[in-house]
Amino acid sequence: MRKSKLLVALGCMVLGIGLAACAKDSGNVGNDKQQTTEKAETKDEYTFGYIAYDMKDIWNEYSAKAFEYAATKQDVKVKTVILDSQNSLEESVAAMESLIQQGVDGISIFPISTEQGSRLVKMANEAGIPVTVENFEMNDDSGDYIASIACKYDDIGYAAIKYIAETKPNAKVFFCAGQEGAGVYEKYQEGVDRALKEFGDKVSVVSTLHGDWQTEKAYNITTDLISSGKEFDYIFANNGLMAQGCYKAVKDAGLDNIPIVSTGGSPDDYKMLQDGIESANMTAPVSIQGITTFQNLYDSVVLNKEVEKFKALPIIPVGADKLDDFIAWDDYDAAYNYVYTK
């Protein structure tokens, strides 16, 4: 896997803020068997539609581009039609209507709510068009879809604490958490709690404070924690924006030896690993998500293969000393190789 060269500055590194995406812990949903298609013969060319929730969101943008990239790598020609619903339920419905009218062979949707996802899946069902879902868990009555892929925030929380336990035994962790009450944070916390049950003899969380996904808030609560005299020697920040705030606070306090683990694996995270702001990142390469959702659609529609109903987006811990393990969100070739060689 090659090292990313993309060092784009992002304002939206947040796996937690906007992306209701990955928002729920996903398991088997819908029918136990995946949706399949009956084909009399293989066609020379297929057309797959993709409904983005908002291409201005970097998470969705890179996933959609990965979907397009995967289409170029197949033996059978696949044309892709990417439609942007611009964070609007009405626009996503209009996009689905357009794809149905075009008579596409399959559709992948990127919903950000159960309501939106269910409506789109059922529209595809009524039109007899196979559909896959990415980035969100659907309810049991959400309609019939081939498969879904989403990240599991509890697994990220678990991976972060496990990483700390393995790299710094007896670490005292300050958990700079996301917004209290938010579903994304609650899932992180579930993973942290699960890891502490398993590794509690090697690591402890001495304080959990909420930075609300913001750099300034993270700076303030970290500064207050240091001033209180509470001892900690490791920080787990729920996203890169908060990692920056934590880093500035410990530097301003003259504490240069407190490592910070964060999450996401965005281009900004890569740069922070390079610059020493983060010591490690629990990466969740969204390019893998886009390629996997394409694979689900292609394998079912074109190859008529059975597809695993749910796949969790892999969490890949990357330390600052092992940047070659980092799969950048724009490194579609590395992501493709990861998916298709596993």
Tell me the pLDDT of the chain (342 aa) as tens digits.
443 333 333 333 334 434 444 444 433 333 443 444 444 467 999 999 999 999 998 889 999 999 999 999 999 999 999 999 999 999 999 999 999 999 999 999 999 888 899 999 999 999 999 999 998 877 778 899 999 999 899 999 999 999 999 999 999 999 999 999 887 899 999 999 999 999 999 999 999 999 999 999 999 999 999 999 999 999 999 999 999 999 999 999 999 889 999 998 988 899 999 999 999 999 999 999 999 999 999 999 999 999 999 999 999 999 999 999 999 999 999 999 999 997
pLDDT at 41: 66
pLDDT at 182: 80
Please report, to the nearest 10 degrees, the dihedral formed by the alpha carbons of residues 301, 48, 70, 320 taken in order: -110
Q: Between β-strands 316-319 and 280-283, what pairing exists: parallel, antiparallel or unpaired?
A: antiparallel
The fourth-level CATH superfamily of domain 153-283 is Response regulator (3.40.50.2300)
pLDDT at 20: 41
pLDDT at 242: 95
The CA distances from residue 73 to 76, 101, 256, 300, 338, in Å, are 9, 27, 46, 16, 14
CA–CA dist 27, 149 (Å, integer): 10
Specify burial of residue 187 (Cβ count, 10 A radius: 0-12, 13-18, 19+): buried
pLDDT at 214: 94
Q: What are phi and psi of 17, to 5 degrees?
A: -75, -75
Specify burial of residue 10 (Cβ count, 10 A radius: 0-12, 13-18, 19+): middle
List beta partners, residue 10. Answer: none
Nearest to 192 by CA among 237, 163, 158: 158
Three-class secondary structure of residue 253 per DSSP: coil
The structural domains of the chain, with segments of one domain joined by +, span 45-151+285-315+330-341, 153-283
- Asked if 110 and 135 touch (Cβ cutoff 8 Å), the reply is yes
Helix 286-301 vs helix 58-71: angle between axes, to the nearest 10 degrees? 40
CA–CA dist 48, 296 (Å, integer): 12
Token look-up 């944070």 returns 185
Which fold does the domain 45-151+285-315+330-341 belong to in CATH? Rossmann fold (3.40.50)
pLDDT at 135: 87
